[in-house]
Amino acid sequence: MNEKNITRSIVITGLMAAIAVVLGWTHWGFIPWFGGAALTIMHVPAIIAAILVGPFSGAVVGLIFGIFSMIQAAIAPTGPADVWFTNPLLSVLPRVFIGPGAWLVYSALKHWIAPSLFAAGAVGSLVNTVLVLGMIGVLDFIPWPALGGIALANGIPEMIASSLITAAVVAAYWRIPLGKRHGSNLD
């Protein structure tokens, strides 16, 4: 990798990590949903980093997202379940796999640009949902049967939001036309 590509990788990874932290700190990464629940989109920067730079970048952004999530749960909890997220097995470990999971799907489908971006966004979100809820079940915080309802109620809308945001942001960055729009002019 040449110096320009290394610099680009570091900058994109740092930018996506900073966006994940800002989304958490400001609570913009949580879209209010039914019954006081929130749809999380804080994992989207890890997905975008993986698509733009690679799986290692996605894992680093996911790691930073997880560490921030753990710190936020400890110092500024917003609900009774936040105490669970002080455990790094729940807050950090699952988030490391978001980017690599999304990258695998993107890489497998990259010949079809738009579908690959939507699918990577959906799978990255699914990785987050399945691993976090799975760890909640393993740690015995919530009974397994209740986790299925949570996965359906939050997981599907999060997948849709994640796939739409991922496709829109990456298409804009790469100046790929999605519909009648042709993306940004950033380079």
Return the pLDDT at 130. Answer: 96
Mean pLDDT of 90-110: 97
Residue 164 has pLDDT above 60, yes or no: yes
pLDDT of amino acid 186: 46
- Residues 6+ positions from 27 with CB-CB distance below 8 Å: 78
What's the domain count of the chain? 1
Q: Is 179 part of a structural domain of the chain?
A: no
Whether the pLDDT of residue 183 is over 70: the answer is: no
Q: Among 32-41, 50-59, 93-102, 146-155, which is the least confidently predicted range?
A: 32-41
Residues 6+ apart with CB under 8 A from 139: 84, 87, 89, 90
- Say if 126 falls within a structural domain: yes
Q: What percent of the chain has pLDDT over 90?
A: 72
Question: Which pair of structure tokens corresponds to residue 2?
Answer: 């040449």
Assigned domain for 186 exists: no
Residue-wise pLDDT for 6-28, tens only, equals 999 999 999 999 999 999 888 89
Q: What integer pLDDT is reported at residue 36 of this predicted model? A: 61
pLDDT at 178 over 80: no
Q: Tell me the residue range of the domain where 140 lies.
A: 3-174
Amino acid type, 14: G
Sign of the dihedral through C-alpha 134, 37, 39, 13: negative
Decide if 180 is inside a domain: no
In this structure, what CATH number is given to the domain that contains residue 95? 1.10.1760.20
Which is higher by pLDDT, 105 or 32?
Answer: 105
Residue 65 included in any domain: yes
* pLDDT bucket at 115, cuts 50 / 70 / 90: very high
Neighbours of 122 (CB within 10 A): 23
Q: Residue 134 contacts by C-beta under 8 Å, 6 or more apart in sequence?
A: 94, 147
* Residue 30 pLDDT exceeds 70: yes
Which residue did the predictor score with more confidence, 25 or 59? 59
Residue 187 lies in a domain: no
Residue at token pair 């987050």: 128
pTM: 0.91
Predicted confidence at residue 187, as pLDDT, reads 43
Is there a domain that residue 183 lies in? no
Exposure string (b/e) for 14-52, b if CB count within 10 Å is 16 or more?
A: eebbebbbebbeeeebbeeeeeeebbbbbbbbbbbbbbb
Residue keyed to tokens 């993986």:
50
